[in-house]
Amino acid sequence: MGREQYDEAIGNLKSDVVSMMENVEEIFVMAVDSLVSQDIEKARRVIMLDDEIDRQMERIEEASVELIALQQPMAIDLRTIFSIAKIITDLERVGDFSVNIAKETIKIGDEPLIKPLVDIPKMQRIISGMLRNAKRSFVDGNISIAYEVGEEDEIIDNLYKDIYSEILILIHEDGRYINQGTKLLFIGRYLERIADHITNICERIIYIYSGESANIN
């Protein structure tokens, strides 16, 4: 394999990662939407669609191993390939947490919500923006965008704390809220963890394009 073909193969690998990012964002948004609208069928679709994300991860892993085996990669190629391996692991975890949100939604079913959902949709909007910016940073090689994502992670942490406090107060005031309140607490925690994984992705992007390790939490 010549250098030109190798560069093309690296480009194809990156394109596959971008496709995985887009699919992960789709099921993430769908998962939270299913909660907000209490749409059980949509929640079930999230669980089904996650299988394709797992398959994408496997295909990218196989292509990465093949690239290393076919040619002695230069340092920057190795940095890119190994970073991609970690990026897709974080993306797969975002997919898994989206499935967890969908499963909690199914458990809640059509029972009346104990509180209007305000902070959870807000977290969804911010996290969707984080995913899109991570993709833009990866495609354009713009590490300043990746650093900005880290700042948004702090907003998510604060929103989760607000949800946690509010639901604990509701449960304290009325013990009947324990069951659903616990599920909403889990969902808030899943959203907070999703934001952490996107931050990890941005740290890997910074490493690809700068060669420097970054901690942007």
And the tokens for 38? Answer: 């209490």
**Across residues 97-114, what is the average pLDDT?**
97
Taking CA 87 as the corner, what is the angle to CA 98 and CA 83, rounded to the nearest 5 degrees? 170
**Across residues 84-95, what is the average pLDDT?**
97
Identity of residue 141: G
**Across residues 40-55, what is the average pLDDT?**
96
pLDDT at 212 over 90: no
Quick one: pLDDT at residue 68? 84
Quick one: pLDDT at residue 2? 65
Q: Identify the weakest region by mean pLDDT among 1-5, 121-125, 130-134.
A: 1-5
- Residue ranges and CATH numbers for the domains of the chain are 3-210 (1.20.58.220)
Quick one: pLDDT at residue 1? 56
**Across residues 129-157, what is the average pLDDT?**
95
If 0-12 CB within 10 Å is exposed, 13-18 middle and 19+ buried, where does residue 204 land?
buried
pLDDT at 30 over 90: yes
Question: Are the C-beta atoms of 16 and 60 separated by less than 8 Å?
Answer: yes
Q: How far is CA 97 from CA 27, 59, 188, 192, 212, in A?
A: 10, 21, 11, 10, 29
Alpha-helix runs per DSSP H in 141-214: 143-173, 178-210
Quick one: pLDDT at residue 179? 96
Q: How confident is the model at residue 4 (pLDDT cuts 50, 70, 90)?
A: confident
